[in-house]
Structure 1
Amino acid sequence: MSNKQQENPLSNIMWNVLIPVVALSFLSKGDNDPLTQASGEKLWHIGPMWGMILAVSLPLVYGIHHLIKTKKPNFFSILGVISILLTGGIAIMAFRDNGSVDEQAPFWFALKEAAIPLVFGVTILLSHWTKTPLVRVFLYNPDFFNIPAIEKRVQENSMTEKYKKLIFSGTLLLSGSFFLSMIMNYFLAIYLLVGNTDSQAQFNEAVGKLTGWGFAVIGVPMLVILMITMWRFVSGLRNLTGMDNEEILLPR
């Protein structure tokens, strides 16, 4: 029996999307001293600084906990933790003493939002020429595909070169989805953050919108692209091997 620790996708969404959105949108009002309550403030108004710290620290703790639990830290999970730290670091550095936010902060955020998928895409593309192409982790995974049977049939049919081209095309499509995410991340950040630097609470609320809308506007198209890429990959394997879907894919 496999003892792999699988990440619960609902927990991932809750800790990395819902909780930060709530903290940034509803807790960031008031001044930065949560021990004092000015007129009109609610008990949960802890201020922009502490709202941002809370929005960043909880996903950070969750990410570190998951790394420790799985005992398999990798480049991408570590990059995710770094991204969370950069979010909080850039915001807090951009906060000014007068309660406003540096006008350049939206551009710093946009560059950060674009840099993460860029690194993913470049790493996936370059990994094709290594011993462990990352397309075999994200797409052509031995947990889903009956790779030994597929490769045996490929050799029997003398389709090795076309098989390699199919894997490379999967790499291109997968890395391309991250490059598309890079572009969408940048312009979504610019659209939501520019003009929202008059106050720290306003900026935090915009970052919260960026977190929520980024998941929907960028995550859903990437999922669709991944599904199309998977369909194309399985179809290509059928043509190369003559196997049907039940033979290509492992039973779940």
Structure 2
Amino acid sequence: MSDANSAPAQHKPRPLIDLLVSIVIPSIILMKLSGEAQLGAANALILALALPVGWGVFELVQYRKFNFIAALGVVSVLLTGGIGLLQLDNKWLAIKEAAVPGVLGLAVLISTRTRYPLIRTMLYNEKVINVALVQERLQERGLVEIFNLRLLRATYFLAGTFFFSSAMNYILAKWIVTSPAGTEAFNEQLGQMTLVSYPMIAIPSMVMMMGILFYLWRTIHGLTGLAMEEIMAQQKG
């Protein structure tokens, strides 16, 4: 009984809460509460950035599972806070915005030289694909090497989505955030950039991810003959 009670909770995606806590509410705080008559530029920035950081830490404690991408997101938020509170040149914001997805893209490429390619963590994993059945069928047909080559191609596509985000983040930051860091105008523009980045960057990146997942499914289906319901992981409960 005690072992069951102490087991970490199963993570359940909550995209609406993630969107509200990480993007919508912080953006509103930055745009509406940064004036001296409200919280002030520094306090509004601290409060806005505390929400996604707090949510990330809560999820880490709740599910007891380290997530490299989530951790990088928390570091990104802390760097944004440092740029604003230390009143650094806002060119560093553009560099930071480009660096985070750029690092992920490089990590994806570098991981192809290791035993643990990141595409297996992000897309080709037991939560998305019935990996055991797929590998069994590939081995039966002697097509493991061909599949690995196509998985490598999908890895390059995945890295490309991060490099796309990197370039778009830099352009968006340079275009929108033009006021000096530490000012009310800087906070307002930071909030605008956060809101605009979702439809302009996050959604296209999500569509590209779905395209890569479709490519994987089509590849697996073509090599193994498995149907969609056999390829996709079965959700328990």
What is the TM-score normalised by the length of structure 2? 0.91
Q: Between the two proteins, what is the percent identity of the paired residues? A: 34
Please show how residues 120-199 of structure 1 align to structure 2 within 5 Å: 120-194=104-178, 196-197=179-180
Q: Is contact 2:86–2:182 with CA below 8 Å preserved after alignment?
A: no
- Provide Cα deviations, 1:25-46, integer angstroms capped at 9, x if missing partner: 000012xxxxxxxxxx4xxx11
Confirm whether residue 14 of structure 1 aligns to residue 7 of structure 2. Answer: no
Kindly provide the CA deviation profile for residues 44-101 of structure 1, in whole angstroms up to 9, marking residues without a partner as x.
x11111111111112211111111111112322221111111011101111xxxxxxx
Shift in Å at residue 153 of structure 1? 1.1
Q: What is the CA-CA distance between 1:199 and the residue it aligns to? A: 7.8
Alpha-carbon distance in structure 1 between the residues aligned to 2:80 and 2:34: 15
1:3 Cα shift?
Answer: 4.3
In 1, distance between residues paired with 2:61 and 2:9? 14
Work out which of the residue numbers 47, 56, 80 in structure 1 matches 2:49. 56
Tell me how far 1:225 sits from its aligned partner: 0.3
Q: How far apart are residue 134 of structure 1 and its match? A: 1.4
2:25 partner letter: I
Shift of 1:156: 1.5
Q: What amino acid maps onto 1:127 in structure 2? A: S
| One-letter amino acid of the counterpart of residue 122, structure 2 | F
Alpha-carbon distance, 1:218 to partner: 0.3
Show CA shifts across 1:205-234 (max 9, x none).
000011111122100100110111111110
Equivalent runs, 1:38-53 vs 2, <5 Å: 41=37, 45-53=38-46
Partner of 2:97: 113
- CA distance in 2 between counterparts of 1:60 and 1:244 reads 41
Alignment check: 8 A CA contact 2:93 2:173 kept: yes
Task: Tell me, in whole angstroms, the C-alpha distance in 2 between the residues paired with 1:74 and 1:144.
Answer: 17
**Separation of aligned partners in 2, 1:7 and 1:54:** 24
Matched to 2:194, the amino acid is: T
The letter for the 1-side match of 2:34 is S
Q: Is 2:80 the counterpart of 1:87?
A: yes
Can you list the C-alpha shifts for 1:79-126, whole angstroms capped at 9, x where unaligned? 1111111011101111xxxxxxx6x31x11000000100111111221
Higher helix content, 1 or 2: 2
Name the count of aligned residue pairs. 229
Structure 1 residues 211 and 247: CA distance shift in structure 2, 3 A: same
Residues in 2 aligned to 1:8 and 1:199: alpha-carbon distance in whole angstroms: 32
TM norm structure 1: 0.86
Q: CA–CA distance in 2 between the matches of 1:236 and 1:111?
A: 37
Q: Give unmatched runs, 5+ long, in structure 1.
A: 31-40, 95-101
Any gaps of 5 or more consecutive residues in structure 2?
none
Q: Deviations 1:114-171 (Å, cap 9, x if unpaired)? A: 0100111111221122222211121112112111111111112111211101211121
| Map of 2:221 onto structure 1 | 238
Query: Where do 1:195-214 residues align within 5 Å?
Result: 196-197=179-180, 200-214=183-197
Structure whose alpha-carbon radius of gyration is higher? 1
